[in-house]
Amino acid sequence: VSIEGHPEGIPLANEVSDQPEGHTRTSHTLLLANGLVFASSTCIMVLEIVAARLIAANLGVSLYTWTSVIGVILAGISIGNIAGGRIADRYRPKRVLPMLFLAASVLSFSVLWLNHYAESWWRPESMSWSGWVLFNVIVIFLLPATVLGTIGPIVAKMALGQGKKVGATMGNIYAWAAAGSIFGTFLTGFVLIEWIGTRAIVTSVAGLLAMIGLGLASLEYRSGGAFISTWLMILGLFNVVAFGPWPWAREIGMFLLLRPDHNNLEYFDESNYFSIQVYEAPDIENARILALDNLVHSYVSSTDVTHLIYDYETIYAAIVKRVAAFGQPLRSLFIGGGGFVFPRYMEAVYPVASIDVAEIDPAVKRAANRALYLPPDDETKITTYTMDARNLVEDLLRDDGAGSYDFIFGDAFNDLSVPYHLTTLEFTAKLRELLKPDGVYMINIIDIYAEGFGRFLGSFVGTSIQNFAYVYVFSSSDDGPTDDRDTFIVACSMRPLDIHNLGTRSGIDAFEGVLFAWAEDGVHGGQMETVLERSEGLILTDNFAPVDNLLAPILSGQ
């Protein structure tokens, strides 16, 4: 069969010339589709990682925070996928995509304003803490995630319109979307947060989405996307006042709520772990405060390193004074550095063999050096290891550090965000190995002792009794534990400690607090039976340590 004498199977002249152009156009469209899903998926994951850091400033970091962030972002993507599929059936992809990228840009930028106002939102008494966290995350992050979720199905339709095989085309789209998610995750967690901070990340995401929308609009609309161009210029001005170093930019940025008010801060930094602020204590002379996220972590005296302000620190000091061998050099390990208040106290008051501090965040150590009077490393006997305390303990045991420490102090808990792996039976057993036979492990814990509460305190004490023959529990209230939130100090040893009536003895500084429960070689005294009953028999292990759930009743009362 032939067409006008032309044999079938041999291309006509015009077919030969048209095929490369159509093939190139198809390739460009598929490349564009891959790039769009890669970019939108990157932005979604960047917002997801940043969400937890932004929320932490108001609500802290907990299992509920991460659960809410992950669940809300996934819900937004799912809703967006459904909506995007329906939009794709009604409109040409290249016509609607510019508007969606513009909407995603505006909503992403709105995260900064909503998160600022979230601090003043009122929580109904009937709403649980986990419900309140979820509500905040929904209001702030659901819409941006939803709009970004619409892009995938629309781009998929655009790719399928090129006439390629359906399976291969969809597989390619999914692969590029997954690659964008992976890229956004690692870029944010490993680079961006510590490099430019959360606010700059959010504005960068908004700017990237706006530029993509402008580029698509210029291809589709004769006007070149006037609305997107206008928004991009506004966004550029916002970035100038949000991050510009000039005084006028700072003032306008604070007025527009695009940058925090640092006028009263002595120091500010944002790390991969915390938002770090240092400022003068308003109620104490010659003292500065270290705040990590939403918690005041340390009070640091500028004139006297032996001035201890927190009650638990004064109880630490009293126990050390009662137990330490007079005149003998002491070796101490601190799990958590914070403001380095008690390490500096130990260095000033006692002959020091060594003071080792495990501080996971190098930015916290840097803040202590620059704004909290911690001397440089070569001017102090404090050795700081910027690593997780559990890893340091493992390293010390491998390096024959067993039986070498007089005291171990636990201070790694940030508000009610508790690293569960530092509470378990296995970890406390390793700490026992590090201690000398008469060494002491002390830790402070936040809980409520009232009926129906106190399960974390009880579980931790019960876990400690599995490893230490002698365990003593102090309340930081003079009259013993009350129905209010309290800081408890747990002291553990393999030998009995003569610390009864400690705060009232001559030669020992008085402190607010009292020993109210103890276990001595299997014999329980004070309120120890009640403390252990609160645990409902739970022993914290590496396999099962639900500390966030144990502290949930306290969170609900915040």
Domain closes at, from 174, 196, 218: 196
Does residue 256 lie within any of the structural domains?
A: no
Contacts of 395 (CB under 8 A, 6+ apart): none
Helix (H, G, I), strand (E, B) or coil at 224: coil
User: Do 460 and 413 form a contact (C-beta atoms < 8 A)?
Assistant: no
CATH number at residue 66: 1.20.1250
- Could you list the residue range(s) of the whole structural domain that residue 447 is in? 287-556
* Total number of domains in the chain: 2
Which of 106-115, 139-148, 216-225, 543-552 shows the lowest mean pLDDT across its residues?
216-225
Contacts of 513 (CB under 8 A, 6+ apart): 311, 312, 314, 315, 474, 475, 476, 477, 478, 489, 503
Average pLDDT of span 11-21 = 45
Residue 165 DSSP class: -
Q: Which helix (H) or strand (E) holds 194?
A: helix 193-196
7 pLDDT more than 80 = no
160 and 291: one domain? Answer: no
Domain closes at, from 196, 216, 245: 196
How confident is residue 478, by pLDDT bands cut at 50, 70 and 90? Answer: confident
> What is the per-residue pLDDT for 17?
41
Give dist(CA 536, CA 529) in Å, integer.
Answer: 11
Contacts of 419 (CB under 8 A, 6+ apart): 412, 413
Q: How many CB atoms lie within 10 A of CB 327?
A: 7
Does residue 222 lie within any of the structural domains?
A: no
Does residue 261 lie within any of the structural domains?
A: no
549 pLDDT more than 70 = yes
320 and 457: one domain? Answer: yes
DSSP string, 379-441: G-SEEEE-S-HHHHHHHHHHTT-TT-EEEEEE---BTTB--GGGSSHHHHHHHHHHEEEEEEE
Give dist(CA 134, CA 139) in Å, integer.
Answer: 9
Domain closes at, from 196, 215, 232: 196
Residue 510 DSSP class: -
325 and 468: one domain? Answer: yes
Which residues are 6's β-sheet partners? 3
- Number of H helices and E strands in the chain, helices first, is 18, 15
Closest-CA residue to 494 (of 460, 517, 458, 465): 465
Does residue 272 lie within any of the structural domains?
A: no
Percent share of the chain, pLDDT over 90 = 61
Residue tagged 């997954």 (tokens): 178
Does residue 270 lie within any of the structural domains?
A: no
DSSP string, 279-310: EE-SSSTTEEEEEETTEEEEEEESS-TT---S
Q: How many CB atoms lie within 10 A of CB 382?
A: 22
Q: Which amino acid is at 294?
A: N
Question: What digits encode the pLDDT tens for the residues 173-211?
Answer: 999 999 999 999 999 999 999 888 888 899 999 999 999
407 and 547: one domain? Answer: yes
163 and 297: one domain? Answer: no
312 and 167: one domain? Answer: no
> What is the per-residue pLDDT for 223?
60
Does residue 443 lie within any of the structural domains?
A: yes
192 and 291: one domain? Answer: no
CATH number at residue 307: 3.40.50.150
Does residue 431 lie within any of the structural domains?
A: yes
Does residue 276 lie within any of the structural domains?
A: no
416 pLDDT more than 80 = no
Which residues are 442's β-sheet partners? 409, 491
Which of 18-22, 31-35, 306-310, 367-371 shows the lowest mean pLDDT across its residues?
18-22
How confident is residue 509, by pLDDT bands cut at 50, 70 and 90? Answer: low
Q: Quick one: CA torsion of 202, 205, 210, 213, rounded to 10 degrees? A: -150
